[in-house]
Amino acid sequence: MGGGGFSEKRDKRLLGNYMLALAGKKKPKVCFIPTASGDAPGYVDKFHRAFPARRAKASSLTLFRHAGVGDLGKFLLAQDVIYVGGGSTANMLAVWRVHGVDRILRKAWRAGVVLAGVSAGMNCWFEQSVTDSFGGRLAPLKDGLGLLKGSACPHYDSPKGRRRRVYRRLVAGGVLVAGVAADDGAALHFVGRRLAAVVTSRPEARACRVERVRGKAVETPLPTRYLGKAK
């Protein structure tokens, strides 16, 4: 998800419902990993309010505070859905690697667990991304998990077009490889490494491929499906 999700009221639970449905169960087990936010308590509380018992069997994995989980691998591989929150992509990846969460998530992906996330939780699955993890400035990050090929840019419709402008420049200059960009409210649904669909919680949300062609960044819009009711 390029942005939005349960943390914003405008989402209307559309992306969350779509995500849960992919598990194919009435009440799937969904685990929230808020590492990128430093395990912010308010963020974790908001997740649990968004996914009450009637929707899912929700849990969270906090690594800065005591996780309350003995075997991380056994715990995460038992989930139907793993949802990664937003924040600092770079810090999150560093902490994951210390605890071996990166290796566990790769096993979960191969086992068919639904992997999802927003912002940093979008960036992490790709080889490369653009992030504001370094002092607030937008910069390239080249050591993602690499489950998905190419680069990524969330929040593509950020105010004043800042993210779009920087991402295009990085791709045009060959600093980042070609990839995909998603607005707030747009979600890229991959099956394996194949992009199967782009769904949105806002009628205006869009996603596109961005690639380098003769030294310039070229955008190719991706077909999208609005999950809400058409007006």
Query: CA 62 to CA 31: how far, in whole Å?
Result: 10
What is the CATH number for 157?
Answer: 3.40.50.880
Query: CA 39 to CA 85: how far, in whole Å?
Result: 9
How many domains, in total, are found in the chain?
Answer: 1
% of residues, the chain, pLDDT over 70 = 99
Query: CA 99 to CA 81: how far, in whole Å?
Result: 20
Domain of 32, in residue numbers: 5-226
Task: Look at residue 231 and tell me whether its pLDDT is greater than 70.
Answer: no
Mean pLDDT score, 4-14: 82
Which residues, including other chains, have CB under 8 Å from residue 118's CB and lie 6 or more apart? 1, 2, 3, 4, 5, 7, 84, 85, 86, 154
In a domain, 115, yes or no: yes
The residues annotated as belonging to the active site are 119, 155
In a domain, 48, yes or no: yes
Task: Look at residue 4 and tell me whether its pLDDT is greater than 70.
Answer: yes
pTM for the model stands at 0.95
Task: Look at residue 96 and tell me whether its pLDDT is greater than 70.
Answer: yes
Backbone torsion region of residue 156, taken as left when φ is above 0, otherwise alpha when ψ lies between -120 and 50, otherwise beta: alpha
pLDDT of residue 70: 82
pLDDT of residue 67: 65
In a domain, 231, yes or no: no
In a domain, 139, yes or no: yes
Mean pLDDT score, 65-71: 76
Write out the two tokens for 173: 């200059």
Query: CA 206 to CA 24: how far, in whole Å?
Result: 26
Mean pLDDT score, 24-33: 96
